[in-house]
């Protein structure tokens, strides 16, 4: 498989303050892991600068303006809702959007089979009018709407395996029949959404996981609920909100996954993409806050995307 890997130094300059779990060290650790010889075949891309027009596919201009006005000239600014901004936040956030949209362009042009976007800040908590939960703009939602509007794709599926529910992605597509959103997440846990009764117009699938859920139970939930729904939906493009904070060593949650579980799920999603999407799959980094567990999990995820 031909796999794109997006990164950029600007992602490191979104500074969140000492001790914050969503920090630049996350990407440094991932970058180091993906320098190993096993990843020599990755097609390495520098994340381009996204546009306000791309962001407006999901977020109204007032949301963009409010965020940009809140960015400080020096230091860090806590604007509430678990959002910390610094002088480098704009460039990081715009390049995250640019990365996912460029991945859509290149994947749909047939320049590669799939992509992994190692971006920050993450995105899946960002609602159309509210930045929250470390997330400024909803990267994966923007990618989905970009693919819909620019390439007229009829069916786009988003699978979110971050340990926290992607309330922002759900909100963006709650009444959009052409987008299927499926999330597995610990419950109860931040942000408090993601009940099975939240189904949109039949296009939202929420699979809560209890504290202590093991890989065996996790796989069964996917086999019984999410994978059959994806096969029935037959997406033209598969997007993945790839959060690795359901790992057993992650400090922010209590699910007990290990690297082999992420490998298994990646293989299953690639099979769906092969069957229905001409292999077209774009994975976008969300959470994961134990540095060693994050790097190991991303490594197995990307190695699987490469078909190895």
pLDDT band at 308 (very low <50, low <70, confident <90, very high): confident
* Domain span at 130: 3-305
Instruction: Write down the H helix ranges in the chain.
Output: 25-33, 52-55, 61-70, 89-108, 139-151, 167-172, 215-221, 227-233, 259-276, 291-305
**What's residue 240's pLDDT?**
99
Q: How far apart are the first and last CA of the chain?
A: 9
* Number of domains within the chain: 1
Tokens of 38: 């096993």
Mean pLDDT in residue range 46-57: 98
Residues 112-133: pLDDT tens digits?
Answer: 999 999 999 999 999 999 999 9
Annotation says 247 is catalytic: no
pLDDT tens readout for residues 191-246? 999 999 999 999 999 999 999 999 999 999 999 999 999 999 999 999 999 999 99
pLDDT band at 95 (very low <50, low <70, confident <90, very high): very high
Query: Residue 173's pLDDT is what?
Result: 98
pTM reported for the whole predicted model: 0.98
pLDDT above 90 covers a percentage of the chain that reads 100
- Residue 110 scores a pLDDT above 90: yes
Residue 53 Cα distances to 34, 76, 139, 146, 226, angstroms: 32, 27, 13, 10, 32
Residue 294's CATH number: 3.40.800.20
Contacts of 39 (CB under 8 A, 6+ apart): 5, 299, 302, 303, 306
Q: Give the mean pLDDT of the chain.
A: 98
Out of 14, 125, 165, 185, which one is annotated catalytic? Answer: 125
Length of the chain (residues): 308
């Amino acid at each position: 498989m031909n796999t794109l890997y997006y990164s950029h130094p600007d992602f490191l300059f979104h500074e969140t303050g000492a001790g914050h779990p969503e920090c630049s060290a996350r990407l440094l650790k991932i970058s180091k892991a993906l320098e190993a010889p096993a990843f020599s075949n990755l097609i390495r891309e520098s994340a381009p600068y996204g546009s306000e027009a791309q962001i407006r596919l999901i977020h109204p201009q007032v949301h963009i303006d409010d965020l940009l006005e809140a960015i400080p000239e020096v230091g860090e600014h806590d604007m509430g809702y678990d959002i910390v901004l610094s002088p480098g936040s704009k460039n990081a956030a715009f390049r995250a959007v640019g990365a996912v949209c460029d991945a859509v362009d290149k994947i749909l042009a047939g320049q590669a089979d799939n992509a992994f976007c190692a971006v920050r800040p993450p995105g899946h908590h960002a609602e159309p009018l509210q930045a929250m939960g470390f997330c400024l703009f909803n990267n994966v939602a923007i990618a989905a709407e970009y693919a819909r509007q620019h390439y007229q794709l009829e069916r786009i599926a988003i699978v979110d395996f971050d340990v926290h529910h992607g309330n922002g992605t759900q909100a963006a597509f709650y009444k959009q029949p052409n987008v299927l959103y499926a999330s597995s997440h610990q419950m109860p846990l931040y942000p408090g959404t993601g009940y099975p009764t939240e189904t949109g117009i039949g296009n939202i699938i929420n699979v809560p996981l209890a504290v202590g859920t093991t890989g065996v139970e996790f796989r069964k939930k996917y086999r019984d609920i999410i994978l059959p729904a994806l096969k029935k939906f037959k997406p033209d493009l598969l997007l993945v909100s790839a959060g690795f904070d359901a790992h057993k060593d992650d400090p922010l949650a209590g699910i007990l996954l290990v690297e082999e579980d992420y490998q298994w799920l990646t293989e299953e999603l690639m099979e769906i993409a092969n069957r229905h999407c001409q292999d077209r799959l774009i994975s976008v980094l969300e959470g994961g806050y134990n540095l060693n567990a994050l790097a190991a999990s991303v490594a197995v995820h990307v190695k699987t995307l490469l078909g190895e």
